[in-house]
Structure 1
Amino acid sequence: MSLRGRHLVPYMPGSYDEGSHYQGNDGRLLQRERTSQVLVDKARRLNDDFLVTLSNPGNILQAAEAKALLKEHIQTITTTVATLSKDIEVLESQMMIREQSHKQSNHSVKNLELHHVGSITDLRSRVGRCDASIAKLSTQMRGIFESVSNLSKQLQDLSKNLSETIMDTSTKVCFSLFLCIKFNIS
């Protein structure tokens, strides 16, 4: 088997600019998985080629080709391990970022919850004070209405008494005038 035309790391075309940030991350992870799979497949093919070359008794050229295949196999395995190591590092860093983000979100939610609980407690105490003030004002208003009603009743009674007194006095004055006029004329 010839070594010409073989590349250590195969070219994997892909677009990393499509979609949102998360889709881009997913696309990159998918691309890395594909690259890793291609490298593993290549390592298996090289291993198979090497075993076929070794199993055939041959000349020095086949031994050299077997040596080259073994060397390429080792390089491919090394590259695959390095790629997988980088993939693992990227995934670990992404997991750490997500975990940190999750912790910050939880902390923010707890702070917000405590703030809301404090606000609700404050509102409840304000509502209680308002209810007490409304009850107090209601009692005072009832007392004022009763006082106004009593004063109105007293005013009506006084007005009635005054009218009666005026009528009685008017009648007496008229009678007295009548008597005076009658005695003066006579």
Structure 2
Amino acid sequence: MVKKKIYDMAKTNVVLPRIRGARPHERSFDLVEQEYNAIQVGPARRITVEDNDRLIVNQGDDSVHPRLHALEDKVTQAIIAQNVVLKEQQKVTEAINHQQQMTQALIDKAFQNREEFLHNLSEIQGERLEDTTRHLLQDHIRYITSIVKRLNQDIEGLEAEIRARDHGILGTNAAVGKLEVHNVTSLQDLRGRIVRCDASIAKHSSDIKTCFGDIQRVINDQYKAHTAVQEVVHKMESQILALGGELEKLAGISSSDLLHMKKDARRDLDLSTERNENSLRDIKNALTLYKSSMSGDIDRIESRMSSMVEKATSTWTQMLGKLESRLEDNVFSIQGRLSRVESAVARDRQIINNLHA
């Protein structure tokens, strides 16, 4: 599974420098071949030729001493072992190069996640999360830097270990296994941190959306209450205007009646004066009776108008009292909702402070 991951990460376009001293065995192989040629005396019994990492042994003269033959066999085995060591070290070098490519790809992925994180944070217009997001981003960058430094230190240690193992193969497999385990652990740790960061970002985003939704609902409720209050006020004003119109109408009717009465009285007085001066006493009595009846009508009209004004005033006072009570109830309900929203915002702020701590 680790090799498959390394192969997948190697498909990226990341190009890293080659490890210094990747093939130090070529000079050693030349030195061994020179020593082997220096040992030969007379015609060689067997000639070893290297062709594309293969050893071809040719039979020679059988007159050489057996000890020389044994020495040739040992030298041949040493060359074979040296070639095996060279191949193993080449494999380890390739694995280190793949590891560097994978590390670079992880770094690029981490920076890409950082850019996405900054883009998501720029969409949030609240000033409450600015310090928290800045600290989270700084911690994320510090953690990525520490991982890169640790991986660079591990790679430098592995390079030194490869240079130290040029003359032997003992411990190569153990070092490769340890490196794979360490890299897998680092990858798992990095992925876990990235997943936790994404989860915390999603949680904060959902909390902010919830707070915005609550605030919007409170604003809508307040707007509805304000609209209802305005409608009630408009109705009261229309009723007051209607009552004022009725009062003006009644006053006009009463004044017109009084004018007609005065005209009739004057006309009757003129007629009675012209008709008979002898009936002056009767006319005076009639006028006295008529004045008394007219004063009674005026008193009744005034009492009726005062009762209507008092009734309208009491009705208007009751409606104003009901309106004030409804306004107080709406204000209390809005204050309760605002207090709940403020408590929710305080809890969110406390959660953010706890996460930052």
Question: What TM-score do you get using the length of structure 2 for normalisation?
Answer: 0.30
Cα root mean square deviation, aligned: 4.3
Which residue of the other structure, out of 93, 100, 104, is the alignment partner of 2:207?
Answer: 93
Give the AA of the match of 1:78: G
Question: Shift of residue 101 of structure 1?
Answer: 2.0
How far, CA to CA, are the matches of 1:95 and 1:113 in structure 2?
Answer: 27
Note the 1:17-56 alignment, pairs <5 A.
22-23=126-127, 25-28=128-131, 30-31=133-134, 34-35=137-138, 38=141, 41-42=144-145, 45=148
Structure 1's 130 and 35: CA in aligned 2 closer, same or farther, altered over 3 A? same
**Post-superposition CA distance 1:54-106 (Å, at most 9, x none):** x9796558643554344233212212211220121122012112112211221
Out of 61, 68, 84, the position equivalent to 2:182 is 68
Structure 1 pair 43–147 and aligned structure 2 pair: CA distance change class (3 A)? farther
Per the alignment, residue 138 of structure 1 pairs with 252
Ranges of 4+ aligned residues in structure 1 off by more than 3 Å = 39-46, 55-67, 142-151
Task: Give the paired residue count.
Answer: 137
CA distance, structure 2, for counterparts of residue 124 and residue 43 of structure 1: 76
Q: Which amino acid aligns with 1:76?
A: L
Written as runs of structure 1 = structure 2, the 5 A alignment for 1:1-186 is 22-23=126-127, 25-28=128-131, 30-31=133-134, 34-35=137-138, 38=141, 41-42=144-145, 45=148, 59=162, 63=176, 64-65=178-179, 67-144=181-258, 147=261
Structure 1, unmatched stretches of 5+, are 1-21, 166-186
Which residue is 1:3 aligned to? none
Identity of matched residues, %: 3
Name 1:11's counterpart in structure 2: none
Runs of 5+ consecutive residues of structure 2 not aligned to the other structure: 1-125, 163-171, 278-357
Q: String of CA shifts for 1:16-54, please: whole Å, max 9, x gaps.
A: xxxxxx53x1314532662475278559848x859x78x
Q: Choose between structure 1 and 2 for higher RCO, CA contacts under 8 A separated by at least 6 residues.
A: 2
